[in-house]
Amino acid sequence: MSQQIVITGANGFIGHYLCHYLSEKNHTIIGLAHHLPTTHQHKIQYRAFDLANFASDVIPENTDIVIHTAYQFKNNLREGIDLNYKATKRLYDFSQQKKVKLFIYFSSFAATSESISAYGQSKYQTSNLFDLEKDLVIAPGLVIGNGGLFSRISAIIEQSKLIPLIGGGRQPLQYIDIQDLARIISNAIDHQIRGNYLLAHPSTIEMRDFYHEIAKSLHRKPVFIPINYFFSEMMFNLIQWLKLGLGFDKENFMGLKQMHEQQISPAEAIFHVQLKPLSEILSRIFKSGSRT
């Protein structure tokens, strides 16, 4: 059944993919984006959206579903936590006023009460806004596709001859394919699924092995250098002080430092989606040099 869906962060990695995927399912999609597309996008209505300043009209009348993927990073970490929390609460309150049937919030594996990263703290604090009897909170592992952190990692491995392995690369990585994530959202809409779910493939891989798999898929043979957390933190403090934009910052480091294997939700049983293994995902992404 076709529904009217508002998606925030419509020009971001996950939001952009969901806009196109759900529009192909014949839903009416309204994409809220900080930077509007310069070319016409078939089937998707785009509207300008700023987390720091928006009114209730960002959610049109007769909207059935709001999917909130937008997140704004700030140099002042406390300011970033405050901004994203208040913006999400405002958007959620507007959705209640407009009698939206389902609010879907994208959280993170990093969202715990013990998180040492500002991003994790922000996501944890914001996740507690929702009523899990009627709302849906999705916390995916590392989302693999043509964008986001995965693309930044891949670019570093492709372009560099020396790759540091922070903490020896022993962190347990849990991942999910962007295509599978979109199927989960679509099925959650169709089957009216509510609650809070951590989603990832059942198999966990150590970060160093994950990097090796990417390098192999890219036909690269970089040298991987283990670096302990003490020297890694010194390096990221220097990068932050010099304001170097390397695509991987101290917030990412803090997340790596605190990574641990988490109990995931069985996607096949709940959402009727069998998640693809890493080898199949990487084969699709890097096939013939294409990253789509």
CATH, residue 137: 3.40.50.720
pLDDT surpasses 50 at 208: yes
Query: What Å distances lie between residue 52 and 14, 34, 71, CA to CA?
Result: 20, 11, 11
Average pLDDT on 273-286 reads 96
Eight-state DSSP code of residue 39? S
pLDDT surpasses 60 at 206: yes
266, part of any domain? yes
**Sign of the CA dihedral with 52 first, then 4, 129, and 191 last:** negative
163, part of any domain? no
213, part of any domain? no
- The number of folded domains in the chain is 1
- For residue 61, count other CB atoms closer than 10 A to its CB: 8
Tell me, what's the pLDDT at 292? 43
Average pLDDT on 205-213 reads 96
Tell me, what's the pLDDT at 233? 72
pLDDT surpasses 80 at 265: yes
pLDDT in tens, 157-175: 999 999 989 889 999 999 9
291, part of any domain? no
Dist CA 21 CA 212 (whole Å): 30
Task: Give the confidence band of 238 by pLDDT, cuts at 50, 70, 90.
Answer: low
User: pTM for the full model?
Assistant: 0.91
Least confident of 99-108, 136-145, 225-234, 275-284: 225-234
Dist CA 286 CA 289 (whole Å): 5
Closest to 210 measured CA to CA, from 159, 174, 177, 234? 174
Tell me, what's the pLDDT at 251? 67
Q: What is the 3-class SS of 43-111, one letter each residue?
A: CEEEEECCCCCCCHHHCCCCCCEEEECCCCCCCCHHHHHHHHHHHHHHHHHHHHHCCCCEEEEECCCCC
pLDDT in tens, 65-89: 999 999 998 877 788 899 999 999 9
Q: Which domain holds residue 11?
A: 4-143+175-202+262-275
Tell me, what's the pLDDT at 250? 64
Tell me, what's the pLDDT at 248? 62
HSE of 184, CA atoms in CB hemisphere, 13 A: 31
Give the chain's mean pLDDT.
91
Average pLDDT on 98-126 reads 93
Which segments of 87-171 are extended strands (E)?
102-106, 136-140, 142-144, 162-166
Dist CA 268 CA 288 (whole Å): 30
Task: Give the confidence band of 243 by pLDDT, cuts at 50, 70, 90.
Answer: low
